[in-house]
Structure 1
């Protein structure tokens, strides 16, 4: 806790990540609130090193890191204020009374009980007195809290997490307060005394190196601790880089492990460990891990953002979803308001099929991004780690690290080792305010089961057929002059998405959008320039549900899906296959989701429906299919151009 593929017709030949999906968790999209993409103009600046930690007490924000100097504005003189300072979040004014003196970097900050500020890092002395790597300070002056006894020996404190009066610490230490503890420990946050009942150690470093815990986080109920770092054993059990610990009663390592952090990535010498940050979701039922590592995916989760389910048990756990960057580092993650934010020196997301380049499906995101918890796809938020055209002398617009993303009371705070963000100067730190942000509301097809099935019968023409989920009414012909060159079509909220033959496009067809109000199809526009690698004309039927585009394709006997994010209209770069039985998907022509069933046409011209459970094994059982209507001389259900709407 630091407070894809080529044209659809040839996808199977180039897919570089597993394309078969067994029954698994299918997270439903939830409303989320994005912060503004325009950083606040009032935050101070630092230089040298990087910002690694934030905390807030009242209206004061505390900033820690390896920097040595700070200043109020781009034109102000630099002030020597190494490793830790404070400022007023309302005005940005640097505190002139909070003046602690540390002799080493600050890695983590926690607002402790009784209004104290607990500091963890790599220092030996604070305010002229020995305080090894841990100290509690008075937030008004920076004076040391007398009687607070916490300290670590043998190595730094890298991360901390607080629940109630328990302070969890992670790092490269071998002792806490003189008692043997390797990498992990729990202290009384009020006194700094070590809790002797917490005896879980993270040991045996990878590739013969010294072990350490690098990142920790707690579920909101304080019952489960996630830990990541350079270890292969936790409390004597095999756990490579990641473990979950039940911290109720006597702390115990949970029966959860994954093999995806075992194999080395690009170079064990360069990337001793590659788990960089871990963060739980708002209800604690899932967590995300950000990694670095370079080459090595998909065998290992290198340079990726991964979601896991907290309640899963057993060895060999796989990610619910994985978003690969294409060999660029993720150094920090933060979950806030049902949005996952990530920072690092990545250039793209949704990029599993290229290395150090933009592959098919890659979405530009320069060092900072926001993704949805349901699928891991980016949303339409893209400030970028870029500076202005008039950066101050001696600054840099790009760096290797965003060590911390942290949600404060008024926005998302970021710490980095460069000076450009959102095309502005923000030396080593800044904040994206909640003010000016927006809410993302999930969109889906109609939930009603009574409405109309629309079926393409000719260029620019649809049959509008009343449908109550079981029986069909008499069709009427509806002219739709903008609906030409159409293929597979599906309804989402107030619009339709459809395959559109467009000469001159990379694949000859394009994924377009038209508004669909009052039964009229509006003028189409391109869904996103990031989707031009995809050939939608190869789809023989499609529907959308809960962040996934389900489809069949020509010459293939399977039901596929890709993630699809409506906020930005981004298509996932990886194709998955659902487990089904008793279906001839190669004959499907046109699909719609209606009330928990797939309504589909076929090459024999008949219309059928079958129950659909995306988390089921199987998701579809053809034995439960029913025939709704046979082919007739007047109406043949054998075209991909079919969708359902209430209108």
Structure 2
């Protein structure tokens, strides 16, 4: 029955998707909440952590820090170092097996069945490729692409037409100074000399972009991380840019919501940001190890995209002291993942709060996009450190984490909830 539901939903979603180009960033719209029953055919990652996911044609590319994967039955094991791919319809593990010598934190689909890798690696298949690489799913490296970071890592990637955006802890790419955020030629990796966000973090150890997202129309980019200024203006942990032209034009949009500190030691507590499919709002997921009804530590918050000046969140979903690391926004739901135990828990302090309303949502859950309140969707997962990646596809929702129980079933670090 599950396979029939998946096939029917897939056919409808593919027909919708092929009616127009898929957005290069932001999540796809889905008309309903996905099933709480994961499909049976996804493969298993047997060690480490899945950090990133991308859909390239019919293949789900999986990046992270791991060494072994297995088919759905766990009878056949494959050596796969930090990246592999499987068929989105069948779960079959592909022959795509580049040797990547460090963690893959970010992925972005490229043209012609290729994928961009970002992370903490220094070589790919023995060739120098520090922090960023472009590879075909046939295993061939795109030799025209020669970008490399000076040190640190790449934590977020997005392709928009002929341009590749990269965010992370680097301070230069190809010898060109760019603190945490850069735009490159998607073909050659050459740094766009006209695009400089001028991010800085005075008093912090380094400027770091944890994550960014681009609006579906390609006009706006929101970056989150260890940043305090952008283009000389105060922007605490979050900044919005107009990227419709040749430059990174800082907008007047800002928020003071993330000025209050969480637990000591966090130079940033923001972890992911995702636009809605229509681009009218975005949602930020945060950690912080500090719970309070007047702070945004360990929370998810919705902000409207339009308008200049100061913005406050439209709603805040508080876990009561547990971290959120991943967010996906489909229009029908906002999916949140981390190692949380509860939603709707503003008065909790590392526990279920005193007062009504808190609901158990171990490790994964969904909230109403309009109100931020928990939806009934509650598949559960083994919490571990937490969900690190969501991938919204025309077929459902793919989840990447560090544990092997999802929806009360064994799913080694990767699973998929189908549209139902």
TM-score of the superposed pair, with normalisation by structure 1: 0.59
Aligned length: 392
Gaps of 5+ in 2: 1-24
Written as runs of structure 1 = structure 2, the 5 A alignment for 1:74-93 is 74-93=73-92
Output the CA distance in 2 between the equivalents of 1:85 and 1:79. 10
Kindly provide the CA deviation profile for residues 160-201 of structure 1, in whole angstroms up to 9, marking residues without a partner as x: 122222211100001112100000001111222211111113
Counterpart check, 1:59 vs 2:55: no
Deviation at 1:229, TM superposition (A): 0.4
Q: Which residue of 1 aligns with 2:101?
A: 103
Output the CA distance in 2 between the equivalents of 1:353 and 1:300. 11
SS of the equivalent of 2:32 reads strand
Query: C-alpha root-mean-square deviation of aligned residues, in Å?
Result: 1.8
SS of the equivalent of 1:33 reads coil
Output the CA distance in 1 between the equivalents of 2:91 and 2:30. 31
Q: Which residue of 1 aligns with 2:290?
A: 295
Deviation at 1:398, TM superposition (A): 3.0
Counterpart check, 1:138 vs 2:132: no
CA contact (8 A) 1:2 1:215 kept: no
Q: Which residue of 2 aligns with 1:72?
A: 71
**Distance of aligned partners of 1:296 and 1:365 in 2 relative to their CA distance in 1, 3 Å threshold:** closer
Kindly provide the CA deviation profile for residues 509-531 of structure 1, in whole angstroms up to 9, marking residues without a partner as x: xxxxxxxxxxxxxxxxxxxxxxx
Deviation at 1:367, TM superposition (A): 1.0
Kindly provide the CA deviation profile for residues 213-265 of structure 1, in whole angstroms up to 9, marking residues without a partner as x: 00100110000000000111112211111110111222211112222211211
Q: Which residue of 1 aligns with 2:20?
A: none
**Deviating 4+ runs (over 6 angstroms):** none
Written as runs of structure 1 = structure 2, the 5 A alignment for 1:240-251 is 240-249=236-245, 250-251=247-248
SS of the equivalent of 1:152 reads coil
Q: Which residue of 2 aligns with 1:380?
A: 376
Q: Which has the higher contact order (CA 8 A, sep 6+)?
A: 2
Kindly provide the CA deviation profile for residues 364-383 of structure 1, in whole angstroms up to 9, marking residues without a partner as x: 11111111111011212110
Kindly provide the CA deviation profile for residues 89-125 of structure 1, in whole angstroms up to 9, marking residues without a partner as x: 2221111x31211100111111112332111111000
Counterpart check, 1:414 vs 2:391: no
Output the CA distance in 1 between the equivalents of 2:160 and 2:68. 32
Written as runs of structure 1 = structure 2, the 5 A alignment for 1:365-444 is 365-385=361-381, 397-434=382-419, 437=420
CA contact (8 A) 1:160 1:168 kept: yes
Alignment match of 1:228 (pick from 208, 218, 224): 224
Output the CA distance in 1 between the equivalents of 2:367 and 2:292. 20
Counterpart check, 1:127 vs 2:125: yes
Greater Cα radius of gyration, structure 1 or 2: 1
Output the CA distance in 2 between the equivalents of 1:409 and 1:153. 37
SS of the equivalent of 1:114 reads coil
**Distance of aligned partners of 1:184 and 1:368 in 2 relative to their CA distance in 1, 3 Å threshold:** same
Q: Which residue of 1 aligns with 2:301?
A: 306
Deviation at 1:337, TM superposition (A): 4.2
CA contact (8 A) 1:2 1:332 kept: no
Alignment match of 1:280 (pick from 264, 269, 275): 275
Written as runs of structure 1 = structure 2, the 5 A alignment for 1:518-557 is none
TM-score of the superposed pair, with normalisation by structure 2: 0.90
Output the CA distance in 1 between the equivalents of 2:30 and 2:50. 31
Alignment match of 1:212 (pick from 208, 214, 229): 208
CA contact (8 A) 1:127 1:143 kept: no
Deviation at 1:143, TM superposition (A): 2.0
